[in-house]
Amino acid sequence: MLLLDLMSSPRPQLLVAAAQQTLGMGKRRSPPQAICLHLAGEVLAVARGLKPAVLYDCNCAGTSELQSYLEELQGLGFLNFGLHILEIGENSLIVSPEHVCQHLEQVLLGTIAFVDVSSCQPHPSVCSLDQLQDLKALVAEIITHLQGLQRDLSPSAVSHSRLHSSDWNLCTVFGILLGYPVPYTFHLNQGDDNCLALTPLRVFTARISWLLGRPPVLLYSFSVPESLFPGLRHILNTWEKDLRTRFRTQNDFADLSISSEIVTLPAVAL
């Protein structure tokens, strides 16, 4: 594994410096070293097709700072092609247009399920994309937007664009874009409340090793209601099999670990 042998070289320090010099611009405090290295690992995972996107809070850095950061990573030889910054609402997602389009096209084919957690119902329930026609049209719109970028932009350039999202359920949209096999959804006209309070949840995490002596990169973290797990097992098994297949096609990360635990919380914020 190439990057696992870099602790004796200046590469990790250069990755930290790239983040602190760009994402810390105009701020009194720069991002801590651990956060800088974890973000670099997540960005590389997107570039290698291990996850469709990284969600980055614009309150931490604006689009221009994030673009400068990705360009710094390119200059270090860390990325061999440009990534795209997709602004949605008050957040930015770092994506590879090609990889995220492939993922969204699979979503349209029905490879994932949704869990409706609207507060009007006593318990969470499973629904398909065909039952959420507005969301299905939205996924198709995002694909069209990204395909246009692939035609119009240089593959080596770091680019950015914005999608207007005034009436979108961002919880569900981000769940899809981040590659969750079972995103949550709910009726927007009922506010942000949900029916997950005191509901046992099975929380899945996927981690990969990267730099020697450093904590692993958290690749995925999502949950499904434990009561629905038996009916969703085939979708989750397919997601795991696909992730392991993609993991075997790259040489930058090692030790993919997928685990789950059951938690119960008095309230769940989405």
Mapped onto helix, strand or coil, the DSSP state of residue 34 is helix
Question: What is the model's pTM?
Answer: 0.91
Domain extent at residue 49: 32-265
Confirm whether 181 is domain-assigned. Answer: yes
C-beta atoms surrounding 8 within 10 Å: 8
Q: Is the pLDDT of residue 1 over 60?
A: no
Under 8 Å between Cβ of 18 and 73? yes
**The tokens of 194 are what?**
């949900």
pLDDT reported for residue 60: 62
Q: CA 35 to CA 107: how far, in whole Å? A: 31
H or E stretch covering 207: strand 201-209
Check residues 28 and 83 and name the one with the higher pLDDT. Answer: 83
* No. of helices (H) and no. of strands (E), the chain: 7, 10
Confirm whether 8 is domain-assigned. Answer: no
Confirm whether 104 is domain-assigned. Answer: yes
Band of pLDDT at residue 16, cut at 50, 70 and 90:
confident
Of 209, 210, 194, 163, give the one whose Cα is nearest residue 269.
194
Q: What is the pLDDT of residues 112-168, one digit of tens each?
A: 999 999 999 999 999 999 999 999 999 999 999 999 887 777 777 889 999 988 789
Q: How many residues are recorded in the chain?
A: 270
Segment 14-25 shows an average pLDDT of 78
Q: What is the pLDDT of residues 188-217, one digit of tens each?
A: 887 778 999 999 999 999 999 988 778 899
Q: What is the pLDDT of residues 41-96, one digit of tens each?
A: 999 999 999 999 999 865 566 788 889 899 988 888 888 787 999 999 888 999 99
pLDDT reported for residue 29: 61
Confirm whether 26 is domain-assigned. Answer: no
Mapped onto helix, strand or coil, the DSSP state of residue 209 is strand
Confirm whether 245 is domain-assigned. Answer: yes
Confirm whether 16 is domain-assigned. Answer: no
Confirm whether 42 is domain-assigned. Answer: yes
Give the total number of structural domains in the chain: 1
Q: CA 161 to CA 236: how far, in whole Å? A: 32
Confirm whether 162 is domain-assigned. Answer: yes
